[in-house]
Structure 1
Amino acid sequence: MTSQTTLERPGHEPGEPDRPDSSDGLQAGLKNRHLSMIAIGGVIGAGLFVGSSAGIAAAGPAILISYAMVGLMVVLVMRMLGEMAAARPSSGSFSAYADQALGRWAGFSIGWLYWFFWVVVLAVEATAGAKILESWIPGVPQWAWALIVMVVLTATNLVSVGSYGEFEFWFAGIKVVAIAAFVVVGLLAVFGFLPGSDNPGSGLAHLTDSGGFFPEGPGAILTGVLMVVFSFMGSEIVTLAAGESADPQRAVSKATNSVIWRIAVFYLGSIFVVLTLLPWNDPSILEKGSYVAALDSIGIPHAGQVMDFIVLTAVLSCLNSGLYTASRMAFSLGERGDAPKSFAKVNRRGVPQAAILSSVVFGFVAVFFNYQWPDTVFQFLLNSSGAVALFVWLVICFTQLRMRAIILRESPGKLVVRMWLFPYLTWATIAMISFVLVYMLTDDTAREQVVLSLLVAALVVGISLVREARSRKASTDG
Structure 2
Amino acid sequence: MTSQPSLAKADSNPSSPGEPQSGGTGDTGDGLKAGLKNRHLSMIAIGGVIGAGLFVGSSSGIAAAGPAILISYALVGTMVVLVMRMLGEMAAARPTSGSFSTYADQALGRWAGFSIGWLYWFFWVVVLAVEATAGAVILNGWIPAVPQWGWALIVMVVLTATNLVSVGSYGEFEFWFAGIKVVAIGGFVVIGLLAVFGLLPGSDNPGAGFAHLTDAGGFMPKGAGAILTGVLMVVFSFMGSEIVTLAAGESEDPQRAVTKATNSVIWRIGVFYLGSILVVITLLPWNDKSITEHGSYVAALNSIGIPHAGQVMNVIVLTAVLSCLNSGLYTASRMAFSLGQRGDAPKAFARTNERGVPRAAILGSVVFGFVAVWFNYQWKDTVFDFLLNSSGAVALFVWLMICFTQLRMRGIILREEPEKLVVKMWLFPYLTWVTIAMISFVLVYMLTDETGRKQVLLSLLAAAFVVVFSVVREKVRPRVDA
> Which bin holds the TM-score, normalised by the shorter protein?
over 0.9
Q: Does 1:63 align with 2:73?
A: no
1:306 to 299, 305, 312: 312
1:396-454 Cα shifts (integer Å, max 9, x gaps)? 00000000000000000000000000000000000000000000001112100000000
Q: Which residue number corresponds to residue 60 of structure 2? A: 54
- What letter matches 1:192 in structure 2? G
Give the Cα–Cα distance (whole angstroms) in 1 for the partners of residues 424 and 481 of structure 2: 39
**Given the alignment, which residue of 266, 280, 287 partners 1:274?**
280
Cα distance change, pair 335–275 in 1 and its aligned pair in 2 (3 A):
same
The alignment status of 1:192 with 2:224, answered yes or no, reads: no
Aligned to 1:15: none
Is the contact between residue 72 and residue 227 of structure 2 (CA under 8 Å) also seen in structure 1? Answer: yes
Distance in 1 between the 2:458 and 2:404 partners?
22
Q: Does structure 2 conserve the Cα–Cα contact (< 8 Å) formed by 1:346 and 1:352?
A: yes
State how far apart, in whole Å, the 2-side matches of 1:450 and 1:360 are.
26
Alpha carbons 1:4, 1:24 under 8 Å: kept: no
- Give the equivalent residue in structure 1 for 2:183: 177
CA-CA distance at 1:111 after TM superposition: 0.1
> Do residues 6 (structure 1) and 12 (structure 2) align?
no
1:243-282, CA deviations, whole angstroms, 9 ceiling, x for partnerless residues? 0001100000000000000000000000000000000000
Question: Taking structure 1 as the reference length, what is the TM-score of the superposition?
Answer: 0.96
Provide runs of 4+ in structure 1 moved above 4 Å: 472-476
Unaligned runs of 5+ in 1: 10-19
Change (3 A) 1:340 1:155: same
Specify the code of the residue in structure 2 equivalent to 1:273.
V
Q: What residue identity is the alignment partner of 2:310?
A: G
1:351 aligns with 2:349: no
Residues 5/61 of structure 1: CA separation in 2 closer, same or farther (3 Å cut): same
Which letter maps to 1:42?
Answer: G
- What one-letter code is carried by the residue in structure 2 that aligns with 1:211? G
Alpha-carbon separation, structure 2, partners of 1:321 and 1:231: 15
Write the distance in 2 (CA, Å) between the matches of 1:218 and 1:25. Answer: 52
Shift, 1:194, TM fit: 0.2
Offset from partner CA, 1:331-380 (integer Å, 9 cap, x none): 00000000000000001110000000000000000000000111111010
Instruction: Tell me which residue corresponds to 2:11.
Output: none
Aligned Cα root-mean-square deviation (Å)? 1.3
Q: Of residues 91, 95, 101 in structure 2, which corresponds to 1:89? A: 95
2:162 aligned residue = 156
| AA partner of residue 264 (structure 1) | G
Gaps of 5+ in 2: 1-13
Question: Shift in Å at residue 180 of structure 1?
Answer: 0.2
Partners of 1:283 and 1:474 lie apart in 2 by 59
Aligned to 2:441: 435
Could you tell me which residue of structure 1 aligns to residue 39 of structure 2?
Answer: 33
Q: Is the 8 A contact 2:22 2:30 kept in 1?
A: no
Aligned partner letter, 1:417: V
Alignment of 1:241-320 (within 5 A): 241-320=247-326
> Match of 2:212, as an amino acid?
H
Give the secondary structure class of the aligned counterpart of 2:380.
Answer: coil
**Does the residue aligned with 1:217 lie in a helix, a strand or coil?**
coil
Residues 5 and 348, structure 1, Cα contact 8 Å, conserved in 2: no
Q: C-alpha displacement at 1:98, in angstroms?
A: 0.1
**Aligned twin of 1:125:** 131
Letter in 2 for 1:438: V
The alpha-carbon deviation at position 5 of structure 1 amounts to 5.0
Aligned-partner residue type, residue 258 of structure 2: V
Is the Cα–Cα contact under 8 Å of residues 23 and 29 in structure 2 kept in the other structure?
no
Q: 1:123 to 1:4 in 2, by over 3 A?
A: farther
**Amino acid across the alignment from 2:34:** A
TM-score normalised according to structure 2 size: 0.96
Following superposition of structure 1 onto structure 2, how do residues 370-449 of structure 1 map, counting pairs within 5 Å?
A: 370-449=376-455
Task: Please give the per-residue CA displacement for 1:16-71, whole angstroms capped at 9, x wherever unaligned.
Answer: xxxx4111110000000000000000000000000000000000000000000000
Per-residue CA shift, 1:179-222, capped at 9, x if unaligned? Answer: 00000000000000000000001000000000000001000000
Give the Cα separation in 1 of the matches to 2:253 and 2:88.
14
2:174 aligns with one of 168, 180, 191: 168
Query: Contact 1:90 / 1:240 at 8 angstroms: preserved in 2?
Result: yes
Q: Work out whether residues 391 and 455 of structure 2, in 8 Å CA contact, stay in contact via their aligned partners in 1.
A: yes
Q: Give the letter for the 2:307 counterpart.
A: P
Q: Distance in 1 between matches of 2:479 and 2:161?
A: 43
Shift of the alpha carbon at 1:4?
Answer: 4.5
SS at 1:144 equivalent: helix
Which one of 95, 108, 114 corresponds to residue 102 of structure 1? 108
1:462 pairs with 2:468: yes
Deviations 1:284-340 (A, max 9, x none): 000000000000000000000000000000000000000000000000000000000
Q: 312, 329, 347: which one pairs with 1:323?
A: 329
Distance (Å, rounded) in 1 between the aligned partners of 2:195 and 2:299: 14
Whether 1:335 and 2:341 are equivalent positions in the alignment is yes
Distance in 2 separating the partners of 1:382 and 1:59: 25
Aligned residues: 466
